[in-house]
Structure 1
Amino acid sequence: MCGIAGIVSLNGKPIIDGGNRIHTMLKLLHHRGPDKQGVFFSPDGWVALGNTRLAIVDTITPFEVPMISWDGDAILTYNGEVFNYREERARLERQGIVFRTHSDTEVVLAALQKEGEQCLSRFDGFWGFALYEISKKRLLLGRDLLGKRHVFYYQNDHEFVFSSEINPILAVVKESWDIDIRSLLSSFEFRSAPPGATLVKKIFRLQAGYHLTIELASQKMHMNRALKLHPEKWFDFFEKNPSETEILEQCDALIAASCQARIPMEVGYIATLSGGLDSTLMNVYLSRFKKGLVDTLHGRSTRAAPQKGDDVDEWMASRWISRHLNTRHFEFDMLDDSAVKLYQQQAANSFDGVFSEGLVNFYQLAMQAKQHQKKVLLLSDGPDEFLGGYDRDIAAYRLEQRMSNEHWNGKIVRHFCRTALGRKILYKAKAKHLLNWSWLSKHPFYFKPAHSSGQYEVLRQLFDFNHVVIPHTLDSYGTIPSDYADLLSELDISQCMALSYATRSLPDYYNLRTDRAIMFASIELRLPMQTTDLVEFMIAVPAQWRFYSGRWSKYLFRKLVEKHVGTHIAYRHKYGFAYPGWMDIQLAKKLDLESTIQDSSIFNELPFKKNAKRFFLQTPHGHYRWMAYCLARSYERLKNRDFEVNVM
């Protein structure tokens, strides 16, 4: 895992102050790669590339970054990991390529130089990279299919600047930075800026699976989709009406292969174990393949153990699973006094537009991994999105099934719910499941994903829509990219929801928050439940196996946990990842969100309504107060041009 940075001239002249600026960018990326850093300058002065390295693969060979090819023509600055690089290396060696290291970086460089960007479809992994070819004067930027790593960029008439994070760009570009209003609306509605955008106007994010190519000689630039999900490859399997046993065997094999491939060979790692289905299954397979004990980690985000009904409570479930799998288990308190500074720090670094309550909890997990002298943290994120794990998704599906059986009544109810009066009544009645269902549509497809924070009624209370253009602002999530249109007629509505999560929410919200949080602690994040093959399989799972009898969500995972661990774990309720610290009364008092919001000028300078500040201070919906706090603290830093990265 690493950090990448670059400055590229677009006017045929050497970069202005390139040396100082690229080194400033690397300084701000040091936490992403504390083991090594380096720079490359093209002979004509048109390109400056930087790379910081966190050594995970081939920790012994002292190679330089960015990496330069044998012939000196291709230069790669790379942030990622390819888990099948040994197989790809052997394939390239059979074609006569000689390697100097045992790193995946060199395999990526050699494959790109020899085969072009088509080679990436063979890789099992994640990445954000830039490849510069001197002879062609061409720069290629790429981001992996599920967006586990990120590439931000800025462009003006004379240069193009990119980085793994926003702060380095903000620091080296002489620009008067402003808040992007469209992104602001999206961040308040979906907790993240729209795909491809950030909270800061003129700074963009390369979309997942896309490549951006710059031809320096002709000063031309173009973007293309290079990678795409193919859930249709599983259609034949499900159309043959396989038995439950056959489906479970296939799912079991895919998860096992992914977990085995993601066990680090050269550095220590620790895996999260919350007591939920996903982390339980991940540790089942890690324990199967690991030589020795697996280290597991659970963060307690409440003062008392969460428990619903007759469930084994969350803390006891985590401990019981650890004993069952014979892991070396560690627990820690997420609500100690040190959490206050973490919340303040992360709120003030929300330039990417992520207003996530859980971001700090991921950071705390990574800090614990570091304290245990690990370099890799394994998380089980993904199946909730792909297999209907969220309460609001299963509620929307149940209502859709019911209303479909009452055709005209369903149409009437949906129409009423979508009217201004209907939304107002449902919002006041707190009928959130009915309100969420009313947005669900197959033709054209749209739904409210789980990270949607509210409804239009709240935004109408906050923003002056006489000065804000809202059409298309709030449709960036819960939709499916147009280049998947040929698939939609083959998918049921639950499969459409899964595909939307995979192509929109996962790359530009869920994976953005975990990358930002965990790399802050100089820890590599691995996501075994998000290998491409497994994701395509989960998207293709028909509704009857996703929502079994309309009762159980994530049915396949429940059956696997029942098989490997037991029914008392398999059929527990969903508890969520962690409770945000500002929900805790003691911690909230120390954070004092209200004073920051009260003193901020941003609510007078942007198109908020006059009563917006009062809403944030008095609302019972604490997540809106947290969002306002993130905005206020980040805006203050933007205004003061304070872009230092203060790692704890």
Structure 2
Amino acid sequence: MCGICGFVDNNFVEKQDTLSNMMNKIIHRGPDSSGEYIDEVAALGFRRLSIIDLADGSQPLYNEDKRFVLTFNGEIYNYKHIREKLIEKGHTFKTHTDSEVLVHGYEEYGTNLLSHLRGMFTFVIWDNVEKTLFGARDFFGIKPLYYYKKDDLFVYGSEIKSILEYPKVPKILNEKTLEQYLTFQYSPPSNTFFKGIKKLPPGHFFTLKDNELTITRYWEPIFNEKDGNLDDFVNQIDETIKGSIAAHKISDVEVGCFLSSGVDSSYVATCFNGDKTFTVGFDHEKYNEIDYAKDLSDKIGIENFSKVITKEEYWDVLPKIQYFMDEPLADPSCVALYFVSKLASEHVKVVLSGEGADELFGGYNIYKEPVDNATYHKLPLYFRSLFARIATALPFSFKGKNFLIRGAKTIEERFIGNAFIFSEEERKNLLSITTSAKSPFEFVKPIYKKVFNKSDVTKMQYLDMHMWLVGDILLKADKMSMANSLELRVPFLDKEVLNIATKIPLKYRITKDTTKYAMRLAANKNMPDATAKKKKLGFPVPIRIWLKEEKYFNIVKTEFVSDNSKKFFNEAPLMQLLDEHKLNKKDNSRKIWTVFMFLVWYKEYFD
């Protein structure tokens, strides 16, 4: 696991100092060593966290005649197999790293190299003969890659803060992204909070030649349900996940595992055959999973390391969190992820984690909605629309009001992902600025079009793979682990696991009683019933409680009435959110947190 950065600029002479500054900004991603390549056109920088071939794995790496230059961030889990094939074709290797198969593989296969890979990655390869830069991001978007392109300048990096070190890259807030963020709680693909800086989408590669940038999609998940016996699916799932966990343990250093109370991390921890698990919790009974994690670790004979995060620690670290995130993220669990990564980094360099299982196997509780409401949706749309109009017109709340309103909408009209913070009307009322941002439903429409003929649950999973998984789950996993120089691996997000997950029929994914039905049965073969059947909780954080306490209420209030806040927000609706929450009139904690995290981030990057 490493960090990469660089640029292509024919008209820039201060390449060495600039590249060094860019590399220094991401030293936390690779504190073990550094490397660089500079010629008259291009500069490639690299920071290394040593995992495989500790002695000889430094980058950049080259092919035999040094025409192709590689810098790479990630892990290729099937590199030994690829290496054998390339040696048979006459390639000569100088190291035993997984990295080197990429440069020889590109020389041999060109862009088709990507179809051979199993792993997580972003990498760039500079062809110093053709003066062409090639770069790619992994299938699911586990590792990030940002870029800036204007005229004859191209700058890229694993983190935005590195790109901002380039003197020709302006630091200008993208206000359209701010408006979208207020709904999604993260910056949705492919733009960022900085004008001109973009994200390379998952499953895409780019080619830069003669100042022309071409971006191409090389892979996408395809759901192709198959009829079959439940027991057969369960056995295939268990076999495939165990195979993926084994592949993800390839390392020359010790590998540990994160462990919460959920079935996903418990499944990985039970099967990874390691010695250490890591857990954090809070000093509230409902927000502490440490006792559970210790109990499971004891049962499977693994040592558990844990930490209770205090309120003071949580709030004090918020500016640092938003700095490392590059962009504001309003998911409260990213702070907990920072602390568990910090804890793990004191003992190991690599951890396994359970991200991705919910998207692949149908684990979020909201996925049950189409199944639970199937009977109501058999009513003609005319009647459902009538009930929705009546419910909307009533000035008071009542049990079932939201059900009636949502019941008249298609899945495309009511679901934009696992977070829906501010509606389009609410965010317009909140903002003191005007932008041309699309409505959230218009934003996700192109993704829905690709699965127009699938079930509603499948549509939700597919959307979350492209939005929530990339914009929130994987982003915080990468940034919080790398902030602590820790490599985080996600065995559920593997091509082989996806291959079986996308074949599972709906009836084996979601039932009236549970989510991830078939996967839970597979997990149950390896762990206690109570763990395998445990309801999805996420990573609970007590911000709802803290925001009612005078100290933290006033911390947020200070930001809400600040000069920075006045640049973007109307003060009255912000204070209404705070007061309603403190007086127990409404739970506005997620809305308050979304605005507050933006203001904390803005202070870090623009003050």
Alignment of 1:315-326 (within 5 A): 315-326=290-301
Alignment of 1:37-52 (within 5 A): 37-42=34-39, 45-52=40-47
585, 600, 606: which one pairs with 1:633? 600
Q: Which residue of 2 aligns with 1:256?
A: 242
Moved more, 119-128 or 346-355: 346-355
Q: CA deviation at 1:195?
A: 0.7
Secondary structure at 1:564's aligned position in 2? coil
Q: CA deviation at 1:174?
A: 4.1
Change (3 A) 1:104 1:602: same
1:297 aligns with 2:253: no
Once residues 437 and 182 of structure 2 are traced to their aligned partners in structure 1, the CA distance between those partners, rounded to angstroms, is 13
1:283 aligns with 2:269: yes
Q: Which residue of 1 aligns with 2:564?
A: 602
Contact kept in structure 1, 2:258 and 2:351, CA below 8 Å: yes
Once residues 407 and 243 of structure 2 are traced to their aligned partners in structure 1, the CA distance between those partners, rounded to angstroms, is 36
Change (3 A) 1:446 1:210: farther
Once residues 164 and 436 of structure 1 are traced to their aligned partners in structure 2, the CA distance between those partners, rounded to angstroms, is 40
Q: Which runs of 4+ in 1 moved over 6 A?
A: 426-430, 585-588
Q: CA deviation at 1:108?
A: 1.1
503, 507, 525: which one pairs with 1:563? 525
Percent identity at matched positions? 22
Q: Which residue of 1 aligns with 2:21?
A: 24
69, 77, 81: which one pairs with 1:83? 77
534, 537, 541: which one pairs with 1:575? 537
1:402 aligns with 2:375: yes
- Spell out, residue by residue over 1:28-47, the C-alpha distance to the aligned partner (whole angstroms, 9 max, x if none): 010001111111112xx111
Secondary structure at 2:525's aligned position in 1? helix
Once residues 416 and 369 of structure 1 are traced to their aligned partners in structure 2, the CA distance between those partners, rounded to angstroms, is 52
575, 578, 581: which one pairs with 1:614? 575
Q: Which residue of 2 aligns with 1:643?
A: none
- Spell out, residue by residue over 1:353-381, the C-alpha distance to the aligned partner (whole angstroms, 9 max, x if none): 43321111111111001122x00121101
TM-score by length of 2: 0.91
Q: Which residue of 1 aligns with 2:416?
A: 448
Change (3 A) 1:134 1:594: same
Alignment of 1:373-384 (within 5 A): 374-384=348-358
Change (3 A) 1:610 1:279: closer
Change (3 A) 1:533 1:588: farther
Q: CA deviation at 1:350?
A: 5.0
Q: CA deviation at 1:429?
A: 6.9
Q: Which residue of 1 aligns with 2:584?
A: none
1:327 aligns with 2:319: no
Change (3 A) 1:175 1:329: closer
1:458 aligns with 2:439: no
213, 218, 228: which one pairs with 1:221? 213
Q: Which residue of 2 aligns with 1:523?
A: 486
How many residues matched? 601
Once residues 239 and 575 of structure 2 are traced to their aligned partners in structure 1, the CA distance between those partners, rounded to angstroms, is 53
Contact kept in structure 2, 1:22 and 1:48, CA below 8 Å: yes
Secondary structure at 2:606's aligned position in 1? helix
Q: CA deviation at 1:153?
A: 1.2
- Spell out, residue by residue over 1:287-325, the C-alpha distance to the aligned partner (whole angstroms, 9 max, x if none): xxx3xx53112211342255xxxxxx9444323322222
Once residues 260 and 432 of structure 1 are traced to their aligned partners in structure 2, the CA distance between those partners, rounded to angstroms, is 45
Once residues 427 and 73 of structure 1 are traced to their aligned partners in structure 2, the CA distance between those partners, rounded to angstroms, is 68
Gaps of 5+ in 1: 307-312, 641-648
When the two chains are superposed, the root-mean-square deviation of aligned CA atoms in Å is 2.7
Secondary structure at 2:420's aligned position in 1? coil
Contact kept in structure 2, 1:350 and 1:630, CA below 8 Å: no
Q: CA deviation at 1:256?
A: 0.9
Change (3 A) 1:436 1:334: farther
- Spell out, residue by residue over 1:128-187, the C-alpha distance to the aligned partner (whole angstroms, 9 max, x if none): 111110111100121111000111111222411111001111222345533212211221
Q: Which residue of 2 aligns with 1:646?
A: none
TM-score by length of 1: 0.86
Change (3 A) 1:506 1:31: same
- What is the letter of the counterpart of residue 326 of structure 1? G
Q: Which residue of 2 aligns with 1:54?
A: 49
Once residues 519 and 551 of structure 1 are traced to their aligned partners in structure 2, the CA distance between those partners, rounded to angstroms, is 38
Once residues 319 and 149 of structure 2 are traced to their aligned partners in structure 1, the CA distance between those partners, rounded to angstroms, is 30
- What is the letter of the counterpart of residue 388 of structure 1? G
Q: Which residue of 1 aligns with 2:32?
A: 35
Gaps of 5+ in 2: 582-587
Moved more, 141-150 or 557-566: 557-566
Contact kept in structure 2, 1:32 and 1:522, CA below 8 Å: yes
Q: Which residue of 1 aligns with 2:124?
A: 130
Once residues 416 and 430 of structure 1 are traced to their aligned partners in structure 2, the CA distance between those partners, rounded to angstroms, is 13
Change (3 A) 1:433 1:352: farther
- What is the letter of the counterpart of residue 342 of structure 1? V
1:422 aligns with 2:417: no
Once residues 81 and 430 of structure 1 are traced to their aligned partners in structure 2, the CA distance between those partners, rounded to angstroms, is 48
Q: CA deviation at 1:201?
A: 1.7
- Spell out, residue by residue over 1:59-80, the C-alpha distance to the aligned partner (whole angstroms, 9 max, x if none): 122x442222221100111111
Once residues 490 and 498 of structure 2 are traced to their aligned partners in structure 1, the CA distance between those partners, rounded to angstroms, is 11
Q: CA deviation at 1:384?
A: 2.0
Secondary structure at 1:178's aligned position in 2? coil
- What is the letter of the counterpart of residue 17 of structure 1? E
Once residues 104 and 538 of structure 1 are traced to their aligned partners in structure 2, the CA distance between those partners, rounded to angstroms, is 27
Q: CA deviation at 1:568?
A: 2.5
